[in-house]
C-alpha cells in the first residue's frame, strides 16, 4: 500500500480559482489563509486510511469534519472540497 499523506502534506498547492470554488462548495466566506489552515488541519488529523487514490486523484475523507478533499496526485494541487452527507441511520 502506497502512502499518500506525507506527499500531500508537504507538497499541497493551490490555484487562485480553487479558493472561490471551496467557498462556494462549503457555502462559506473564508479567506485564502483560513482555507489553507483548514485544509492543512484536515490533512494532519486524517489517518493514512482516509487517503484513497482513484485514477489521477487522491481523495482525503475527514469523517470528523464531514469533508472530502480532492487532490491531483501528480501535482498535489487541491482540486475541490465536498461536504459529506451524513449517512442515514440504520433502521430494523
Tens digits of pLDDT across the chain (92 residues): 578 999 999 999 999 999 999 999 999 999 999 999 999 999 999 999 999 999 999 999 998 899 999 999 999 999 999 998 865 555 55
pTM of whole model > 0.75?
yes
- Provide φ and ψ at 2, rounded to 5°: -80, 145
Q: Got the DSSP string for 34-49?
A: HHHHHHHHHHHHS-GG
Which one, of 6, 1, 23, 5, lies nearest residue 14 by Cα?
Answer: 23
pLDDT for position 86: 66
| Element at 23 (helix H, strand E) | helix 16-26
d(CA 30, CA 34): 6
Domains of the chain: 5-83 (3.30.2310)
Amino acid at each position: 500500500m502506497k502512502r499518500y499523506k506525507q506527499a500531500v502534506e508537504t507538497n499541497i498547492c493551490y490555484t487562485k480559482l480553487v479558493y472561490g470554488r471551496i467557498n462556494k462548495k462549503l457555502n462559506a466566506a473564508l479567506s485564502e489563509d483560513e482555507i489553507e489552515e483548514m485544509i492543512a488541519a484536515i490533512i494532519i488529523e486524517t489517518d493514512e486510511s482516509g487517503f484513497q487514490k482513484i485514477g489521477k486523484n487522491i481523495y482525503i475523507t475527514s469523517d470528523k469534519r464531514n469533508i472530502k478533499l480532492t487532490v491531483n496526485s501528480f501535482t498535489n494541487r487541491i482540486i475541490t472540497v465536498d461536504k459529506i452527507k451524513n449517512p442515514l441511520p440504520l433502521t430494523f
